[in-house]
Amino acid sequence: MDMVNIKINDMEVSVPKGSTILEAARYAGIEIPTLCYLKELNEIGACRICMVEVKGARSLVSACVFPVNEGMEVYTNTEKVRNSRRHTLELVLSTHRKECLSCIRSGKCELQKLCRDYGVEDENAYEGEYPAVQYDDSAPHMIRDNSKCVLCRRCVAACDNQAISVIGANARGFDTHIGSPFELPLYDYSCVSCGQCIVACPVGALYEKDDTAKVFAAIADPEKFVVVSTAPSIRVTLGEAFGNPVGTNVTGKMAAALRRLGFDKVFDTDFAADLTIMEEANELIERVSNGGTLPMITSCSPGWVKYCEHYFPEQLGHLSSCKSPQQMFGATIKTWYAKKMGIDPKNIVNVSVMPCTAKKFECGRDDQSASGYADIDIAITTRELARMIETAGLNFNLLPDEPFDNPLGEGTGAAVIFGATGGVMEAALRTAVETLTGETLDAVDFTEVRGTEGIKEATYNVAGLEIKVCAASGLKNAKKVMEEIKAGTSPYTFIEIMACPGGCVNGGGQPTQPASVRNFTDLKGVRGKALYEADKDLPLRKSHESEAIKLVYDEFFGKPGSHVAHEVLHTKYVKRGLYK
**Are 190 and 219 members of one domain?**
no
Say how far apart CA 219 and CA 349 lie, in whole Å: 9
Q: Which of 157, 184, 208 is the last residue of a domain?
A: 208
Q: What is the pLDDT at residue 421?
A: 97
DSSP 122: S
- The boundaries of the domain holding residue 68 are 3-77
> For residue 241, what are the CA distances in angstroms to 195, 197, 246, 390?
18, 19, 10, 10
Q: How far is CA 105 from CA 101, 152, 511, in A?
A: 9, 16, 11
Residue 20: strand pairing partners: 67
Q: 24: helix, coil or strand? A: helix
pLDDT of residue 130: 79
470 and 322 co-located in one domain: yes
pLDDT score of 133: 80
β-bridge partners, 136: 144
386 shares its domain with 512: yes
pLDDT at 123: 66
Name the region of 193 (left: φ>0; alpha: ψ -120 to 50; beta: rest): left
Q: Are residues 398 and 308 in the same domain?
A: yes
Last residue of a domain, one of 173, 189, 208: 208
461, 456, 466: which is closest to 422 by C-alpha? Answer: 456
Q: Are 195 and 227 found together in one domain?
A: no
What CA–CA distances, in Å, run from 124 to 86, 89, 92, 127? 11, 10, 10, 7
> For the domain that residue 197 is a member of, what is the CATH number?
3.30.70.20
CATH code of the domain containing 36: 3.10.20.740
Give the CB-side neighbour count of residue 551, counting CA atoms within 13 A: 15
In a domain, 579, yes or no: no
Query: Do 134 and 252 belong to one domain?
Result: no
| Contact between 152 and 184 (Cβ < 8 Å) | no
Residues 6+ apart with CB under 8 A from 176: 151, 169, 170
Sign of CA dihedral 48, 53, 59, 61: negative
Contacts of 370 (CB under 8 A, 6+ apart): 331, 334, 335, 567, 568, 569
- The H or E element spanning position 495 is strand 494-498
- pLDDT for residue 409: 96
What integer pLDDT is reported at residue 580 of this predicted model?
A: 61
| Euclidean distance between CA atoms 146 and 134, whole angstroms | 5
Asked if 414 contacts 427 with a C-beta cutoff of 8 angstroms, the reply is: yes
CA distance 535 to 415: 8
Residue 49 CB partners (closer than 8 Å, separation 6+): 33, 34, 35, 36, 85, 88, 89, 114
Considering the domain architecture, whether residues 204 and 244 belong to the same structural domain is answered as no
In this structure, what are the phi and psi dihedrals at residue 268, rounded to the nearest 5 degrees? -120, 125
Nearest to 66 by CA among 80, 51, 81, 76: 51
Distance CA 379, CA 364 (A): 10
pLDDT at site 389: 98
Number of structural domains, the chain? 3
Residues of the chain whose pLDDT is less than 70? 122-124, 580
Asked if residue 320 and residue 251 are part of one domain, the reply reads yes
Q: Are 512 and 218 in contact (CB under 8 A)?
A: no
DSSP letter assigned to residue 42:
B
The whole-number pLDDT of residue 510 equals 98
CA 483, CA 239: separation in Å to the nearest integer?
39
pLDDT attached to residue 122: 66
477 vs 480, 502, 528, CA distance in Å? 5, 11, 19
